[in-house]
Amino acid sequence: MNFADELLGWYHDNKRDLPWRNTTDAYTIWLSEIILQQTRVEQGKPYFYRFLERFPTVSSFAAATEDEVLKLWQGLGYYSRGRNMLKTAQQVQNEYNGIFPTDYHVLLKLKGIGEYTAAAISSFSANQPHAVVDGNVYRVLARYFGIDEPINSGKAKKTFQDLANSLINKKNPALHNQAMMEFGAMLCKPKNPGCGICPVHLNCYAFKHNATTTLPVKLKTVKSRERFFNYFLVTDSHRILMNKRGDNDIWANMYDLPMLETSELLPVNELLNSQEARQAFGENATIEHIYPTAKHILTHQKLFVRLIKLQNSTVKLEQKWFYTEVENLSELALPKIIFIFLKNIFNL
């Protein structure tokens, strides 16, 4: 029995019962694929159910506002995925009459859908023979065949895609792709892979050469950038001062609090006495409370987030600052770190 057949046998006996595996509906599969990008299955599942309940069809998704989508997405990170989903749904509604495409080449024309996602949707919805190569598949192929090409290099994409295409079961590519991905997720894991119970370990390069810890190879990424966010909590009776973020930088178009970014974590008194703070909050603003600084890790960025509660402020409203009732905070799409701060303060 060859490598691919062994994996199919393993998958038959060990696969997880996941909701998106029980359908060939391209829209549902698309939802799951985008939500699960850079997200663990157990973390992504509740979001999948929430989105499918709120938007049962691509047409209902296309009619949503960006605020609605980002609110549902809150906590998943990589918020550009949520914004792109809305654009994709609107494109499908406008250009394909609300019928989600299943053809690989047509899918590539949609916003936010690359080769991986197009292969997954076309394979799982229409059984088209396009190999799905995600992080799990990269790992399985690198270890089994002993490929030391860094998986995040430009050359690797073609190397691994060509190999995956050559292995695919043409009669049932959907099942083959699911088996490859599941095998990497459950058995050939990044750390402590289950080599002892692996059905293909005897012919696995990494097993034979004790290389499971060195394969796959990955180039070192850009050093993480440190940023210091000083948020100001300003209340007016039952209202709280909020900020609508712009299109650029992280958390685009979401809601947070008025903030000053500094090059380091300055003493709070020095920060409040800065010209920028005095212009925004008035000469008489004083510090009521300083909450512990929280660290928030993003891709290539490490945020140090501090929340400072002010009193006696006379706010000069900026273009994107506005007051809202505290009870309305749960309706706004907030970055996770801000949501946690406000949840603890106001018992949201």
Query: In this structure, are residues 274 and 306 in contact, taking their beta carbons and an 8 Å threshold?
Result: no
Cα–Cα dist 43/190, whole Å? 18
| pLDDT at position 2 | 87
Question: Please, what is the Cα angle at 110 between 106 and 113, to 5 degrees?
Answer: 100
Question: What length does the chain have?
Answer: 348
Q: Is 264 a catalytic residue?
A: no
When computed from its CA atoms, the radius of gyration of the chain, rounded to whole angstroms, is 24
Rounded to the nearest integer, the mean pLDDT of the chain is 94
Cα–Cα dist 142/53, whole Å? 38
Q: Residue 82 pLDDT > 90, yes or no?
A: yes
| 3-class DSSP string for the chain | CCHHHHHHHHHHHHCCCCHHHHCCCHHHHHHHHHHHCCCCHHHHHHHHHHHHHHCCCHHHHHCCCHHHHHHHHCCCCCCHHHHHHHHHHHHHHHHCCCCCCCCHHHHCCCCCCCHHHHHHHHHHHHCCCCCCCCHHHHHHHHHHHCCCCCCCCHHHHHHHHHHHHHHCCCCCHHHHHHHHHHHHHHCCCCCCCCHHHCCCHHHCHHHHCCCCCCCCCCCCCCCCEEEEEEEEECEECCEEEEEECCCCCCCCCCEECCEEEECCCCCHHHHHCCHHHHHHHCCCCEEEEECCCEEEEECCEEEEEEEEEEECCCCCCCCCEEEEEHHHHHHCCCCHHHHHHHHHHHCC
Q: Of the candidates 139, 276, 148, which has an alpha carbon nearest to the alpha carbon of residue 219?
A: 148
- With bands split at pLDDT 50, 70 and 90, how would you rate the model's confidence at 223? confident
List pLDDT tens digits, range 26-76. 999 999 999 998 889 999 999 999 999 999 999 999 999 999 999 999 988
Query: In this structure, are residues 179 and 7 in contact, taking their beta carbons and an 8 Å threshold?
Result: yes
Segments making up each domain of the chain, as ranges: 225-346
Which of 3.30.110.70, 3.50.50.60, 3.90.79.10, 3.20.20.410 would CATH assign to domain 225-346? 3.90.79.10
pTM: 0.86
Mean pLDDT to the nearest integer, 261-288: 93
Cα–Cα dist 131/170, whole Å? 10
| pLDDT at position 132 | 96
List pLDDT tens digits, range 167-207. 998 889 999 999 999 999 999 999 999 999 999 999 999 99
| pLDDT at position 347 | 82
Q: Residue 272 pLDDT > 90, yes or no?
A: yes
Peptide bond into 190 cis (omega under 30): no
Mean pLDDT to the nearest integer, 81-87: 94
Of 33, 42, 53, 276, catalytic: 33
| pLDDT at position 13 | 96
Cα–Cα dist 246/255, whole Å? 9
List pLDDT tens digits, range 16-29. 999 999 999 999 99
Q: Of the candidates 191, 188, 192, which has an alpha carbon nearest to the alpha carbon of residue 145?
A: 188
Neighbouring CB atoms inside 10 A of 53's CB total 9
| pLDDT at position 154 | 85
- With bands split at pLDDT 50, 70 and 90, how would you rate the model's confidence at 335? very high
